[in-house]
Each structure stands twice: as structure tokens, then as C-alpha cells.
Amino acid sequence: MVNKKNILITGGAGFIGFPLAKYLVRKNYKVNIIDNLSRGKFDKEFKDLLKNKNVKFYRYDLNKKIKINFKNISHVFHLAGSVGVKNINKNAYGSFFNNIISLKNIIDTLQNKKKIKIILFSTSEVYSTIIQEKKVKFPIKESNNVLIKNDVIKRDAYFLSKIFNEKILQLSNLNYLILRPHNIYGPRMGFSHVIPELMQRMTNFKKKQSKKVLIFSPRHKRAFCYIDDAILQIVKLSFNTKLKNEIFNVGNMSEEISMIKLANKIKRLFSYKINLKNGEITQGSPHRRVPDMKKTLKFTKIKKFTNLNQGISKTFKWYQNKI
């Protein structure tokens, strides 16, 4: 018998996995977490979460066959994987297979457990090629077909692994949801993501009295979604018993902004006395990415979102004494 309140989160020490675990513990779920801590943090906040009797943590590498026996689990949130452009560029081949083998091992463990629902965290980057090839209308709907080109650069390892993850899951016998998050941001995400990275670079430049901060891909636009809004979408979609074998964008389509405008906003909000300068375009970076959220909003009925000013301020508050 599956227990509807007993769930597994892979990657639960990471940026999205941790607040998801925290949210579900507050709602009285029993939360099992697997993470190998390759990127997730074993910090005070995570240790505090582990003090709760309803949380079990397994430090485990999902590249190995899973020997843990998960009884009575109803939902598996599969977030573990290699992420981040710099990280992927350093080890494209290894990252690709980390994402593929991790999912295969999870599916093999769950095979024939038809009552379990697996929620795969894919990415908005699966749309990269259709954006580059100008084969898509903005905002981007989930119903678009994705595309794979003949040539490849290292960074592509990420979205290629996610496209294959989606297909592997669709070919399995499991109930699933595929979520495609779009530029989620907030506290505890590390400095390799755009918003904390900009905050860090601006603070450091201020400290060193340097004159200019380079903004890469300055005209490229992204739609940013604050972490709390993303968690609410994830939870509402995942526990909706009517939703099975579907794909959903996760994000906020009303907060689209160019990198240079974003940098100016951060500069203004925190009164940084620095100059910004347009930098070069990052290789492989799509010029625009904004999700069509109609399908997600229809099923979640979410109406209120955190605006960018509020979200950035909350993020900055968490980061300010860590920079």
C-alpha cells in the first residue's frame, strides 16, 4: 500500500530540492532525501531540516544501483543531476551520463510500481534549439516539439541529457509528470546562477573600487520565477491526482527582463555605485526564453506571483552577509 504522505526527493540538498522538502515536511509529509552532496550543501539550514523526525537523509550517489528499499512511497521528485553552465562545460560527457544513469537507476528501482508517480525535473533548455533555429513562438508552449542538431557544443550536454531523460521516462511503465522549470531564483542557489552572481560581482567590484562590471549577453532576455512561486506550482501539479503523463512549464511569464535591465535593477535596488558595460554573448545562450504558463495556471489556479523587486530583495537579504 502506498502512503500518500510518504515521498522521496532526489537532489534534496540542492537549491530547489531543499525548499521543496521543507515545504512538504511542514505539510506533514514523510520526506526521504537522496543526495550525494556533489553540489548540494550540508549547511546549517539543511542540518536543521534533518532534525525533524519525518525526514530521512541518504547520502548516496544515484550513479550506483539503488539498494535502499523505499516502502510505501507515493511520489518521487527526481531533481538530482548535473546542472549549471560552468559545471557542465567542465565535464560535459560525465554530466550527460550522471543525468542519464541517475534516472535509469531510479526507474529500475521503481519498475512495476504503477501507483507511484515520478516527477522529473527537466529544463526550459530543452527549447534551446527551436529558439536558435527560430522555430518557435514566444511565449513557449509545452506542446512544441524539441529539436536536436547534428553539431554539438559542450554546454548542450545539459539539455540533451534532459531531452533523453524525458524520453526514457515516457518509455518506462511509470506514471509521470515532466516539469520544465524556467530560471528559478532565490536564496541558497549558489553563486553560479545569474542573480546571485551579479550581486556577488557588483559587491566585489564595489569593494575593490573597480569601475566597470561586464554584463554578458546583455540583450538576452529571461523570465525569472521566485523559488516560493515555483514550489507552489510543483506541489499543486504533482499532487493533482488527475494529472498523469503530462508536461508542464514551471515559471513566471510576467517577469521577463534583459540581462542589462536586470543588472541595472540590482544596481538601483542596492545603490551600487558602479558602471555596467556590455560584455560578449555567451556561446550557446538563447536570445530569449519565456514560458507560456497557461497550462500550468489552469491546473494550479495560482494567481499571485512574487514580483522581481520583491524576489531580488529577499534573495539579497539571504546573500548579503555571505558575499
Ligand X SMILES: NC(=O)c1ccc[n+]([C@@H]2O[C@H](COP(=O)([O-])OP(=O)(O)OC[C@H]3O[C@@H](n4cnc5c(N)ncnc54)[C@H](O)[C@@H]3O)[C@@H](O)[C@H]2O)c1
Using CB under 6 A, list all residues that contact ligand X: 11, 13-17, 34-40, 61-63, 79-83, 98, 102, 121, 123-124, 181, 183-184
CB of 154 to ligand X, least distance (A): 16
Which residue lies nearer to ligand X by CB, 30 or 182?
182
What's the rounded Cα separation, in Å, for the pair 77 and 177?
A: 10
CB of 121 to ligand X, least distance (A): 4
Closest-CA residue to 225 (of 264, 263, 189, 186): 186
Which residue lies nearer to ligand X by CB, 19 or 218?
19
CB of 108 to ligand X, least distance (A): 14
Residues forming a β-bridge with 181 = 250
CB of 274 to ligand X, least distance (A): 26
State the greatest distance between any 2 C-alpha atoms of the chain, in Å, as a whole number.
Answer: 63
DSSP 125: G
Which residue lies nearer to ligand X by CB, 205 or 286?
286
Which residue lies nearer to ligand X by CB, 94 or 212?
94
CB of 277 to ligand X, least distance (A): 26
- How many other C-beta atoms lie within 10 A of the C-beta of residue 127? 25
- Parallel, antiparallel, or unpaired for β 117-121 and 221-223? unpaired
CB of 165 to ligand X, least distance (A): 9
Closest-CA residue to 229 (of 159, 176, 304, 284): 304
CB of 288 closer than 8 Å to CB of 223: no
Which residue lies nearer to ligand X by CB, 183 or 238?
183
Which residue lies nearer to ligand X by CB, 77 or 272?
77
- Parallel, antiparallel, or unpaired for β 55-59 and 30-35? parallel
CB of 61 to ligand X, least distance (A): 5
Q: Is the dihedral of CA 44, 47, 51, 54 positive or negative?
A: positive
What's the rounded Cα separation, in Å, for the pair 161 and 279?
A: 29
Give the 3-state secondary structure of residue 276.
Answer: strand
Which residue lies nearer to ligand X by CB, 40 or 218?
40
How far lies 60's CA from each of 4, 65, 80, 93, in Å?
24, 10, 11, 21
